[in-house]
Amino acid sequence: MLDAAQKNGYAYPAINITSIVTANAALKAFADAKSDGIIQVSTGGGQFASGLNVNDAAFGAIVLAEAVHRLAEKYDILVALHTDHCHPEKVDSFLRPLLDESRARKEKGLGPLFNSHMFDGSVVDLDENMKISAELLKECVELDIILEIEAGCVGGEEDGHDTSGLPAEKLYTTPDDMLQVYETLNPIGRFMFAATFGNVHGAYKPGSVKLKPTILRDGQKVVMDKYGAEAEMDLVFHGGSGTSAEDLQETLDYGVIKMNIDTDTQYAFTRPIVTHMCENIEGVLKIDGEVGNKKVYDPRGYLKKAEASVAARLVQACDELKSSGNTIYSA
Ligand SMILES: [Zn+2]
Q: Ligand 1 centroid to 242 CA: how many Å?
A: 14
β-pairing, 161-162 with 116-119? unpaired
DSSP per residue, 160-202 = TEE-TTS-GGGGB--HHHHHHHHHHHTTT--EEEEE-BS-EES
Instruction: Indicate whether 210 pLDDT > 90.
Output: no
Q: Give the CA distances from residue 201 to residues 209, 252, 317, in Å, rounded to whole numbers and listed in that order.
A: 10, 19, 16
Q: Ligand 1 centroid to 193 CA: how many Å?
A: 11
pLDDT tens track for 173-197: 999 999 999 999 999 999 999 999 9
Query: Ligand 1 is a single-atom ion; what residues have CB below 5 A from it?
Result: 238
Name, in order, each residue with C-beta under 8 angstroms of 11's C-beta and a sequence gap of 6 or more. 5, 237, 248, 251, 252, 256, 257, 258, 259, 321, 322, 323
Q: Per the annotation, where are the binding residues for Zn(2+)? A: 85, 120, 150, 201, 238
Whether 319 is catalytic is no
**Cα–Cα distance measured from residue 232 to residue 97, given in angstroms and rounded to the nearest whole number:** 31
Contact criterion met (CB below 8 Å) for 27 and 315: no
**Cα–Cα distance measured from residue 137 to residue 278, given in angstroms and rounded to the nearest whole number:** 49
Average pLDDT over every residue of 89-108: 98
What is the CATH topology of the domain spanning 2-321?
A: TIM Barrel (3.20.20)
**Cα–Cα distance measured from residue 149 to residue 138, given in angstroms and rounded to the nearest whole number:** 13
Q: Ligand 1 centroid to 262 CA: how many Å?
A: 9
Q: Per the annotation, where are the binding residues for dihydroxyacetone phosphate? A: 202, 239-241, 260-263
pTM: predicted TM-score of the whole model, two decimal places: 0.94
Q: Ligand 1 centroid to 84 CA: how many Å?
A: 7
For 163-177, 234-248, 276-290, 296-310, which range has the lowest pLDDT when averaged over its residues? 163-177
Instruction: Indicate whether 165 pLDDT > 90.
Output: no
Residue 243: predicted pLDDT: 85
Instruction: Indicate whether 132 pLDDT > 70.
Output: yes
Confidence of residue 199 (pLDDT cuts 50, 70, 90): confident
Q: Ligand 1 centroid to 218 CA: how many Å?
A: 22
Q: Ligand 1 centroid to 75 CA: how many Å?
A: 27
Of these residues, 3, 32, 76, 84, which one is catalytic? 84
Residue 209: predicted pLDDT: 67
Q: Ligand 1 centroid to 264 CA: how many Å?
A: 13
Residue 100: predicted pLDDT: 98
| Domain range summary for the chain, segments of one domain joined by + | 2-321
**Cα–Cα distance measured from residue 248 to residue 122, given in angstroms and rounded to the nearest whole number:** 23
Supply the mean pLDDT for the chain.
Answer: 94
Q: Per the annotation, where are the binding residues? A: 85, 120, 150, 201-202, 238-241, 260-263
